[in-house]
Amino acid sequence: MDQMVALYIVPTPIGNFGDISARAIEVLQQVDLIACEDTRHSGRLLSHFGIETRKTALHDHNERDRVQWIVEQLDAGKSIALISDAGTPLISDPGYHLVNHVRQAGHRVIPLPGACAAITALSASGLPSDRFSFEGFLPSKEKARIDKLEFLKEDPRTLIFYESPHRILYSLAAIVEVLGEDRQIVMAREVTKMFETFLSGTAAEVLALVEADDNQQKGEIVIMCHGFTLTDEEGIPAVAVATLKLLCEELPLKKAAAIAAQIHGLKKNALYKYGLELDL
């Protein structure tokens, strides 16, 4: 069927070409233009599926300059697909400014579901997946990297980072230093590809494994860290106790316990009992 005039957000495989959806192929075949992060890189994927649609480059260095031109193409009745080198566009990839301007210009933005390295890795990590925070790449400079981890140190959610081969040892060392050598982490490498590996253990153990094996310092990497779980002697997470105390400054204990329990996924009766013991 013919595509309507819109900007289509089209995920592409993160490694295995077989992971592309039938709908993604159909859209890429039928739109008038494909905006690619790297036309040569995407050309291999498109050629594999016999897609001959016209391509144009849209990346970090030219996105702001290309936005108006793409809006003009939409104004002229052309349908456009946005793809990144791999995975879902905008997730640590270009596209935010484009999508924002296209919506402001009154055109439809239609997203397709598909591959995302962070979610794919998390699903197989064995770490809690009910609450997580995707943090993209850690800063390249050491001080900024340490500061970022210090900010996240007591976050109770599973933390997800992308990392590049030349920085993986520095980032793992920073995680050991800031989050602690005993923090449980999982490092996923080359997810969906031939040399896919998952390393799990304490931060110190995973760092030692990567230091000892140069192969683990290659490819696309996802680091996942268990959230902060320090508990008091009653087995209630310290972050939940802090929330309870804060809420009790403005609310009755019963109401505060109910809200804190909902925020942190705990039983309100346990928090209420603990609050009584603290005389909140």
User: Would you list the domain boundaries of the chain?
Assistant: 7-111, 117-225, 238-278
Q: How far is CA 15 from the centre of its chain?
A: 17
Q: Which residues contact 148 (CB under 8 A, 6 or more apart)?
A: 135, 138, 139
In the predicted model, is pLDDT for residue 128 greater than 70? Answer: yes
Please provide the CATH number assigned to the domain covering 7-111. Answer: 3.40.1010.10
- Under the banding of pLDDT at 50, 70 and 90, the label for residue 236 is confident
φ/ψ of residue 185, rounded to 5: -135, 160
Higher local confidence (pLDDT), 150 or 3: 150
Quote the pLDDT of residue 228: 85
**pLDDT tens, residue by residue, 89-114:** 999 999 999 999 999 999 999 999 99
Quote the pLDDT of residue 2: 59
- Residues across the chain: 280
Pair of tokens at residue 140: 């390249």
- Under the banding of pLDDT at 50, 70 and 90, the label for residue 156 is confident
Distance in angstroms between the alpha carbons of the first and the last residue of the chain: 64
Tell me the whole-structure pTM to 2 decimals.
Answer: 0.81
Please provide the CATH number assigned to the domain covering 117-225. Answer: 3.30.950.10
Q: Which residues of 165-188 are buried (b: 16+ CB within 10 A; e: fewer)?
A: eebbeebbbbbbebbeeebbbbbb
Which amino acid is residue 225, in one-letter code?
Answer: C
Residue-wise DSSP of 168-206: HHHHHHHHHHHH-TT-EEEEEESTTSTT-EEEEEEHHHH
- Under the banding of pLDDT at 50, 70 and 90, the label for residue 231 is low
